[in-house]
A and B are shown apart, each in its own frame.
Chain A
Amino acid sequence: MATKASRSAARLMMAPAVILLLGWMLVPLTMTLWFSFRKYLPLRGGDLGWAGFDNYTRFVTSSAFWPSVMATLTVVGGVLIITVCLGVLLAILLDQPMWGQGVVRILVIAPFFVMPTVSALVWKNMFMDPTNGLFAHLFKFFGAEPIAWLSQASMPSIIMIVSWQWLPFATLILLTAIQSLDSEQLEASEIDGAPPLKRFWFIILPHLGRAITVVILIQTIFLLSIFAEIFVTTGGAFGTKTLTYLIFQRVLESQNIGLGSAGGVYAIILANIVAIFLMRIVGKNLDN
């Protein structure tokens, strides 16, 4: 795409896609903004006119708001820490030559293909059920009192389920990154007198920096909006009501579209704050 003619031709040909994507994004965004300033109660009279900033003030002053922000950040942070740490370890493990490597790799990646709703239900009923779950049986086997995971340890449970879903993604990206590490660098550091742990710390981890950044950025975007896992497990109870879930409740359970839309706008703002924050911390890894 060097010449002027080919550049404008390229623009012309990209235009339909760009316009479609822009529309796709702009229409819902504008509608959300529009409704957030309306008093709109579908079952109680429908659109009742302008509400000014009422919806916005009501949303933040509600006692559920700050806990929901905290819950969102806890889930995102917890899942990120677990998936990145375990992802690095698993990637190193899968990079070792071993028998049945192909099968093991497919098994590790498999959870990513399970729908969130399904995986959350499987966890809830097969693992975390306080009477019939596998964990309960395990606890009993060792003579411990089974715990009701989703009510007594609701947040860790949610984080565990979501981490399980996202670990394959992190592992896959980190594995490809590890495979691109020049083995001569490792050998050089071995000759230079670095024992295995120092080789990991000084050579492998810095090499993975960029891949870890990518994993964090992509996962954050998706994790800020997790919903199905909470919907089918705790239903937002026991301190697991994230911002997304709160908006859902405002719109569908309270039947208040205006209030929910204002929450949606707050969610956009939160996502941007987190994104800027992340870019500052880890984004410089993406340079050069």
Chain B
Amino acid sequence: MGRITLDKVTKSFGETQVIPPLDLTIEDGEFTVFVGPSGCGKSTLLRLIAGLEDITSGQIRIDGNDATNVPPAKRGLAMVFQSYALYPHMSVRKNIAFPLRMAKLDKAAQDAKIEAAAAALNLTDYLDRKPGQLSGGQRQRVAIGRAIVREPSAFLFDEPLSNLDAALRVGMRMEISELHKKLATTMVYVTHDQVEAMTMADKIVVLRAGHIEQVGSPLELYKAPRNLFVAGFIGSPKMNLIDGPEAAKHDAHTIGVRPEHIAVSASEGIWSGKVGVTEHLGSDTFLHVHGTGLGEMITVRAGGEVDFKYGDTIYLTPRADVIHRFGTDGLRIA
């Protein structure tokens, strides 16, 4: 069980309010990702749930029970930190055993759990090493192992992959997703990387300055961003946001067109411009088009085979059915 409910939770550090009143329900077994730019209060929110910070007002309930004043150890949650926070003077085995030892579990039961966790995380060969002798990915796995053995009702992750290199990050992303499928335990995951959010989440919570901008599944957020902030934040490359007369044609203050929803042609199209930098990824090509009169630059995602050179004239046609329209207040017009 691991249903977490935040009810009008606020948090202030001195005078500055980092989290304005916030309501959120994380369902049991759900993989929820908090995503938002750096400094928007994601870590603070996670630490409030963990109990590492006191909330200023409001209530946190875990499985329906008021947990607002329950100390961290009693909340039944496990946390994986960005720095891994392994105990450097203890071996991997001792690190993983630490929560069990604190819970005064008997030695045999401890060993059984450690062996099982180590096997699941490919750590069996490293049990007697110190954290300092492990690679970043292995340390990450030890931190996860230490969380798993407690059998928490929910896992909390604070940017766990941001210290890993790109290749390792993709691998660990899969491993964490798989772990979630296997354990079916609630997971709350904080990241500033929208790709991580899109690929892992059942539910994404987009935060800006402590406010929830939108909550929904990855595809909901992609297909129907509620406002300009979410539109610009979710999706890579970024959605093109166009205002002025072109937006007025669609009865909107601003329109948004995703790079992948623009067709390119060398001879005809609705908009025209000059090709700037092109990024060839093999499977796709990202074209930066200038001088369209629509704004500084339009990003277009075309197939891998297109052959435009710097300075070529290009014609662009947006797909009419997937143009996002936003009003003067920045909110989506249905």
- A interface residues (Cβ-Cβ under 8 A, vs B): 182, 184-185, 187-195, 198, 202-203, 206-207, 209, 288
Contacts and interface: CB of A to CB of B under 8 A. Distances in A.
A122 to B, nearest CB: 41
A170 B103 CA distance: 34
Contacts of A288: 132
B83 A207 contact: no
B81 A206 contact: no
Interface string B88-105: 111000000011001100
A182 B103 contact: no
Contacts of B78: 191
Task: Kindly list the 9 A-B residue pairs having the minimum CB-CB distance in the complex, ordered from nearest.
Answer: A193-B102, A184-B85, A188-B85, A192-B99, A193-B73, A206-B89, A184-B81, A191-B72, A185-B85
B79 to A, nearest CB: 5
Report the interface size class on chain B.
Answer: 20 to 34
Given A184-B83, A202-B87, A288-B132, A189 B77 contact: no
Contacts of B52: 187, 190-191
Contact of B87 (A185, A187, A191): A185
A75 B33 CA distance: 60
A192 B73 contact: yes
Nearest to A209: B89
Contacts of A188: 79, 81, 85, 87, 146
B150 interface: yes
Nearest to A194: B102
Contacts, number: 59
Given A182-B85, A184-B85, A198 B73 contact: no
B73 A202 contact: no
Given A191-B78, A192-B146, A193-B103, 11 more contacts: A182-B83, A184-B83, A187-B85, A188-B85, A188-B87, A190-B52, A192-B73, A193-B102, A194-B73, A202-B98, A206-B87
B50 interface: yes
A185 B81 CA distance: 9
B326 to A, nearest CB: 40
16 contacts: A184-B81, A184-B82, A184-B85, A185-B88, A187-B85, A188-B146, A190-B52, A191-B50, A191-B73, A191-B77, A192-B99, A193-B102, A193-B103, A202-B87, A203-B87, A207-B88
Nearest to A187: B52
A207 B78 CA distance: 23
Interface string B54-74: 000000000000000001110
A198 B78 CA distance: 18
Interface centre among A192, A203, A207 (most CB of B within 10 A): A192
B185 to A, nearest CB: 16
Contacts of B83: 182, 184
A193 B78 CA distance: 10
Contact of A189 (B51, B71, B87, B150): B87
Nearest to A199: B102
B34 to A, nearest CB: 18
Contacts of A189: 87, 98
Contacts of A184: 81-83, 85
Contacts of A206: 87, 89-90
Contacts of B102: 192-194, 198
Interface centre among A184, A189, A209, A288 (most CB of B within 10 A): A184
Contacts of A182: 83, 85
Nearest to A183: B85
B82 to A, nearest CB: 8
Contact of A207 (B50, B82, B89, B150): B89
A279 to B, nearest CB: 20
Contacts of B85: 182, 184-185, 187-188
A190 B78 CA distance: 11
B158 to A, nearest CB: 9
B132 A192 contact: no
B143 to A, nearest CB: 8
B48 to A, nearest CB: 13
Given A185-B87, A202-B87, A190 B98 contact: no
Interface centre among B77, B82, B102 (most CB of A within 10 A): B102
Given A193-B73, A202-B87, A187 B81 contact: yes
Nearest to A288: B132
A288 B87 CA distance: 15
Contacts of B89: 206-207, 209
A192 B103 CA distance: 9
A10 to B, nearest CB: 31
B98 A192 contact: yes
A190 B47 CA distance: 12
A202 B102 CA distance: 11
A202 B90 CA distance: 9
B93 to A, nearest CB: 14
B21 to A, nearest CB: 26
A164 B82 CA distance: 42
Contacts of B72: 187, 190-191
Contacts of A202: 87, 98
Contacts of A194: 73, 98, 102
A12 B65 CA distance: 74
A209 B78 CA distance: 28
A190 B53 CA distance: 12
A194 B95 CA distance: 13
Contacts of B86: 185
A184 B82 CA distance: 9
A187 B52 CA distance: 7
Nearest to B89: A206
Interface in B134-165: 146, 150
